């Protein structure tokens, strides 16, 4: 099965009445820094979606670009040991979300994913999330990400 792409995400946005814009860029944006530079934004406005597995159950963490997700926080939420919270492999990310690592949006996946939204994402008026391709970003409000993803808001960075 082919990975999903920016066109698939655009179709999802239109089909679901989501207020967002797919920005197709002339450069690849494999890192937070290159993404921020490409759209003239600050690093904390770049939103990354990271897929974790807890005993083979996917959990999507949506956080600000440079933030480090504390696996302990996710483990505590689901009452498991930290070692049971594993980063999904690139193959698992494609299989579960449909998107490649580095291009994954916070929603619009092959299957609904249980999602956690870091509260710091909500501090920006506009953010840029994965746009379905390494040269695409989605310009969107954090409130719209929250509405569409139905994510649980929490502090994924410090756990406070």
pLDDT at residue 159, rounded to an integer: 59
**Is residue 79 domain-resident?**
yes
All residues at 6 or more sequence positions from 129 whose CB lies less than 8 Å from its CB, including other chains: 46, 47, 48, 49, 62, 105, 106, 137, 138, 140, 145
The model scores a pTM over 0.85: yes
When comparing pLDDT for 158 and 44, which is higher? 44
Q: Is the pLDDT of residue 29 over 80?
A: yes
In this structure, is residue 1 part of a structural domain?
A: no
- CB distance 117 to 64 below 8 Å: no
| Assigned token pair, 115 | 């999602």
Q: What are phi and psi of 159, to 5 degrees?
A: 80, 10
CATH classification of the domain holding 147: 3.90.960.10
Q: What is the mean pLDDT of residues 9-38?
A: 95
Give the structural domain span for 28.
6-154
pLDDT band (50, 70, 90) for residue 156: very high
Asked, for residue 60, whether it belongs to a domain, the answer is yes
The reply to whether 116 falls in a domain is yes
* pLDDT on residue 160: 53
**Residue keyed to tokens 């005993």:** 55
Condensed to tens digits (0 to 9), the pLDDT of residues 72-94 reads 999 999 999 999 999 999 999 99
């Amino acid at each position: 099965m082919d990975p999903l792409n920016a066109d698939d995400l655009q179709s999802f946005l239109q089909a679901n009445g989501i207020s967002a814009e797919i920005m197709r860029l002339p450069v690849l944006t494999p890192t937070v820094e290159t993404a921020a530079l490409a759209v003239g934004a600050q690093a904390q406005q770049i939103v990354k979606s990271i897929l974790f597995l807890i005993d083979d159950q996917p959990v999507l963490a949506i956080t600000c670009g440079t933030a480090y997700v504390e696996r302990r926080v996710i483990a505590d939420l689901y009452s498991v040991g930290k070692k049971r919270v594993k980063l999904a492999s690139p193959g698992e990310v494609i299989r579960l979300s449909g998107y490649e690592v580095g291009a994954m949006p916070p929603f619009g996946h092959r299957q609904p994913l249980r999602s956690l939204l870091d509260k710091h994402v909500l501090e920006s008026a506009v953010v840029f999330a994965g746009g379905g391709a390494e040269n695409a970003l989605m310009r969107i409000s954090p409130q719209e990400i929250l509405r569409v993803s139905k994510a649980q808001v929490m502090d994924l960075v410090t756990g406070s």
